[in-house]
Amino acid sequence: MEKLVIEGGKKLQGEVKISGAKNAVLPIMAATLLTDETCTIHNVPKLRDTMTMAKLLRSLGKNVDIEKDCVTVSSKGEISYLADYKLVSTMRGSFCVLGPLLAKLGIAKVSLPGGCIIGVRPVDLHIKGIQALGAKIHFEGGYVIAQSKKLQGTHIYLGGVSGSSVLATANVMMAATLAAGETIIESAACEPEVEDLANFLIEMGARIKGHGSPQIVISGVKKLHGADYKVIPDRIEAGTFILMAAAMRSNIVLRDVRYNHLSALVDKLEEAGVKVIKEHNMIRVKTNKTIKPVSVTMLPYPGFPTDLQAQFMAVMAMTPGISVITDKIYPDRFMHIAELNRMGADIRREGSSAIVQGTKAIYGAPVMASDLRASAALLIAGLAAEGTTEIHRIYHLDRGYEAIDEKLAKLGAKVSREKE
């Protein structure tokens, strides 16, 4: 096991290249189960999660070849309908093999998922959508078992208590591509990662309209073919680096990034006094010596992303004044508060909100990462803290950020990876 050691207070400057989107690549890799032909996926980040998905696809009977940022998935015969607990339980995103396996084979047995511990994240919307397509579902020994001789297109409302679900939308959309007739998904997730998956499926021969909106229409086809596709940049990685620059009151440039995917973050940072400037496929971040506290509520896209909540909180913890951060998507996603407070932050939780009393300085300390985005928040705090910070359990960080210590070193940070 490794830890990250950060010497705080080093200004960031220079350029950083943003990797492909983790939350787009995982369902896109799962979608290759829908065809016997070869699929080539470019701009794939080298992460623990993408490696786990590659292992899962191999366990299901696919050939998976990885060369730099290119993943090639090909067939070597019949695929299995069993997605094993040992792999699915380590990563929630792997649950999205349910839809493709069911559509291709007529049966799927998929372990209930795992991943980060950020509160209850049920699979009820996945089940609701798959059942609406005509599948019979039961649970046995920690597995979801779905069966259908032929899925039938239908009209599905997929909204939940906290709004739409990205992974459920992906699962149902993939299953519907091979269903008979037309499927309409209402209250579909609008996130760029869902739109990217739809574009990949269209390259495979699927007939999809409305992706990127709350209503997606899928006209089922008999067969899908191979595709060659480049994944979009990771907006959460981009947002994390922008927030690092804000915390360090630094000026940096991000390359290979889509400005329009970051509108909610840009709006809040400009309110705080941070300039985020679009230049072709680049973003230039310019931060004043002082920034203002702002309050924000996490909402489904195009609202402020829950995956940037912890990182934004770290910045506000070092911004004098009071800000209120509310998470309507995952109201229990606040495990980073205790660790930030260990570093001198003044944050208290009230229900689904955190009240942040910003301070002028925080201090390095040994801290423990509880989940992927909490890790990033602690990293931001460590970069800005006085003294040295040690972040333990950084395997969480490696699930979603490609070579982040190397990228930070190029920006002038003093970060090293050491054995525990």
- The residues carrying an active-site annotation are 116
Helix or strand run (H / E) with residue 420? none
Query: How many CA atoms does the CB half-sphere of 312 hold within 13 Å?
Result: 32
Angle at 92 between CA 374 and CA 265, to 5 degrees: 45
HEC readout, 302-357: CCECHHHHHHHHHHHHCCCEEEEEEECCCCCCCCHHHHHHHCCCEEEEECCEEEEE
Does residue 302 have a cis peptide bond before it, meaning omega lies within 30 degrees of 0?
yes
Greatest alpha-carbon pair distance for the chain in Å reads 63
The sign of the dihedral angle between the CA atoms of 339, 318, 377, 299 is positive
Nearest to 261 by CA among 319, 227, 301, 300: 301
HEC readout, 227-243: CEEECCECHHHHHHHHH
List beta partners, residue 216.
185
Give yes or no for a contact between 130 and 146, defined as CB atoms under 8 angstroms apart: yes
Helix or strand run (H / E) with residue 270? helix 263-272
Contacts of 55 (CB under 8 A, 6+ apart): 87
State how far the Cα of 8 lies from the Cα of 365, in Å rounded to an integer. Answer: 11
Tokens 């201090």, residue?
Answer: 363
Residue 271, phi then psi, degrees to nearest 5: -65, -35
Residue 360, phi then psi, degrees to nearest 5: -75, -30
Tokens representing 169? 């939308």
Nearest to 250 by CA among 4, 2, 86, 8: 8
